[in-house]
Amino acid sequence: MTLAEKILATHSGKASVSPGDFLSVKTDLVLSNDITAPMAIKEFDRLGVPGVFDPKKIVMVPDHFCPNKDIQSAEQAKMMREFARKHGLVYFEVGEMGIEHVILPEKGLVLPGEVVVGADSHTCTYGALGAFATGMGSTDIAIAMATGEIWMKVPSTIKFIFHGKPGQWVGGKDLILYLIGDIGVDGALYSAMEFHGEAISALGMDGRFTMSNMAIEAGGKAGLFHVDAKTRSYLKGRTTRKYTEYRSDPDAAYARVIEYDASKIEPQVAFPHLPSNTRPLSQVGDIAIDQVVIGSCTNGRIDDLRLAAGILKGRKVDRHLRCIILPGSQQVYLDALKEGLIEIFIRAGAAVSTPTCGPCLGGHMGILAAGEKCVSTTNRNFVGRMGHIKSEIYLANPAVAATSAVLGRIANPQEVV
């Protein structure tokens, strides 16, 4: 069996499973946020059950519109807050919280071999830890909160092998954008995506989280890495809970095996209006921009901020644009503060936000007007994603985004470093 199949078999009490099998799967963690929790709560209340299956296994994080941007978002957060208090759930409030997909691994709430479901499409982020994690609708999450189980069809698995050593300025964001550009936004539809190869082994955990996070942008059900020394080192000190490491069998059956030479991959830029509309940085051309966003559940971790700070140190943001930096969590913010990164950002002329999803989904903290162009380290660049339907979003890694903020156009870090 593949990695995904082994985890799902264990959680459904079966010796083995195959793609296409329908299962009732026990969950280890159920997640929702301030957009999706209110719908799940309404459906949960309709069930008439006395309580949730296990309050320690249900997490709610108000991260999309919080701190509340308007009355409607305040009402949604209030509903979520009251439900969490009533049932004793794991809940993170403004001031201690952050972006859900950053803080759950950070706080040791997700471990290898577990099944995690969330009412957010980027729940697949946790596959970086060797967990089977996937997004579901709010109704499914309501049932999961009540029963601790989900209904699922076993996905087939596609194996992606990245050979060789990535070049300078090429990270996990570039590898996954290159992959999506190759297979398309539906190239891995309802498939588990397994990442392998020398380039994958060389990636740090922050880069792996980025790749798993964007599995959904290729249509994937989950994006998984095998546990290795880097995974174990990341988990050390974050949890005392025991976990199980699973590995795909040598004779596991894959739907496809796709191989790349990572040494030939340049930093990638995804043009509007799809993550698959990618071009190597050398072929971008001269594109002036109005805004840069560095952060999100894709690239808001400490390694991402270090990369951006390395570019911005001693330089100034172009006076004709805004550069907005969003640490992924309070801990990331604190680490960046201790390392002097926040001072670098502010002296460069960037604005540093409280941890929030904010502009990624057109929520707040950086909405675009008609005709404006933004370079963003977020994961989606759909029409109107960050504001006006006539605005444009270009996806890139933090180094490219920071360089673009300095030069006022999409640019290569080699131009300033």
205 and 275 together in one domain: no
Q: Which two tokens stand for residue 211?
A: 């790749």
Per-residue pLDDT, 52 = 97
Per-residue CA distances from 32 to 20, 114, 227 (Å): 27, 17, 26
Per-residue pLDDT, 291 = 97
Instruction: State the pLDDT confidence band at 19, using cuts at 50, 70 and 90.
Output: very high
Q: Which two tokens stand for residue 51?
A: 């309580």
- Calculate the CA 102 to chain-centre distance: 8
**Strand (E) positions, 69-110?**
90-91
Residue with tokens 């296409």: 20
CA–CA gap between residue 300 and residue 197 (Å, rounded): 25
The amino acid at 238: R
**265 with 174: CB under 8 angstroms?**
yes
Q: Which two tokens stand for residue 147?
A: 């029963």
Per-residue pLDDT, 29 = 97
Secondary structure, 3-state, 354-387:
CCCCHHHHCCCCCCECCCCEEEECCCCCCCCCCE
Q: Is the pTM of this model over 0.85?
A: yes
Q: What are phi and psi of 375, to 5 degrees?
A: -95, 125
Q: Which two tokens stand for residue 317?
A: 């943001």
Terminal CA-to-CA distance of the chain, rounded, Å?
46
The total domain count for the chain is 2
Question: DSSP string covering 10-52, please?
Answer: HHTT-S---TT-EEEEE-SEEEEETTTHHHHHHHHHHHT-SS-
61 and 28 together in one domain: yes
Per-residue pLDDT, 77 = 92
Last residue of a domain, one of 223, 244, 260: 260
Q: What are phi and psi of 196, to 5 degrees?
A: -140, 170
Per-residue pLDDT, 396 = 98
The pairing of beta strand 256-261 with beta strand 268-270: unpaired
CA–CA gap between residue 54 and residue 149 (Å, rounded): 11
Residue 5 has pLDDT above 90, yes or no: yes
Last residue of a domain, one of 241, 260, 279: 260
For residue 267, the 8-state DSSP code is: P
Dump pLDDT digits (tens) for 244-261: 999 999 999 999 999 999
Per-residue pLDDT, 362 = 85
CA–CA gap between residue 349 and residue 415 (Å, rounded): 19
247 and 338 together in one domain: no
180 and 287 together in one domain: no
Per-residue pLDDT, 358 = 87
- Closest to 300 in 3D by CA, of 272, 349, 341: 341
The CATH number assigned to the domain holding 297 equals 3.30.499.10
Bond preceding residue 273 cis, omega within 30 of 0: yes
Residue 96 has pLDDT above 90, yes or no: no
69 and 103 together in one domain: yes
Instruction: State the pLDDT confidence band at 359, using cuts at 50, 70 and 90.
Output: confident
Averaged over 110-114, what is the pLDDT?
98
Residue 309 has pLDDT above 90, yes or no: yes
Residue 363 has pLDDT above 90, yes or no: no
83 and 100 together in one domain: yes
CA–CA gap between residue 253 and residue 42 (Å, rounded): 41
Per-residue CA distances from 221 to 40, 135, 265 (Å): 21, 8, 25
Residue 97 has pLDDT above 90, yes or no: no
Averaged over 329-336, what is the pLDDT?
96
252 and 298 together in one domain: no
Please indicate whether residue 97 or residue 300 has the higher confidence score (pLDDT): 300
Instruction: List residues bridging with 288 in a β-sheet.
Output: 409
> What mean pLDDT is reported for the chain?
96
Per-residue pLDDT, 81 = 94
Residue 361 has pLDDT above 90, yes or no: no
Per-residue pLDDT, 120 = 93
Per-residue pLDDT, 357 = 85
Per-residue CA distances from 97 to 76, 102, 330, 356 (Å): 17, 10, 6, 9
204 and 273 together in one domain: no
Last residue of a domain, one of 260, 286, 309: 260
Full domain range(s) for residue 287: 268-415
Averaged over 45-55, what is the pLDDT?
95
**Element spanning 342, H or E:** helix 341-348
187 and 55 together in one domain: yes
Per-residue pLDDT, 246 = 97
200 and 272 together in one domain: no
Question: How many Cβ atoms sit within 10 Å of the Cβ of residue 255?
Answer: 14
Residue 364 has pLDDT above 90, yes or no: no
**199 with 163: CB under 8 angstroms?**
yes
Q: In whole angstroms, how large is the CA radius of gyration of the chain? A: 20
Per-residue pLDDT, 360 = 83
**247 with 370: CB under 8 angstroms?**
no
336 and 210 together in one domain: no
202 and 218 together in one domain: yes
Residue with tokens 């926040």: 342
Instruction: State the pLDDT confidence band at 66, using cuts at 50, 70 and 90.
Output: confident
Instruction: List residues bridging with 261 in a β-sheet.
Output: 163
CA–CA gap between residue 174 and residue 401 (Å, rounded): 12
Q: Which two tokens stand for residue 385?
A: 């994603």
Q: Which two tokens stand for residue 324?
A: 């907005």
Percent above pLDDT 90 for the chain: 94
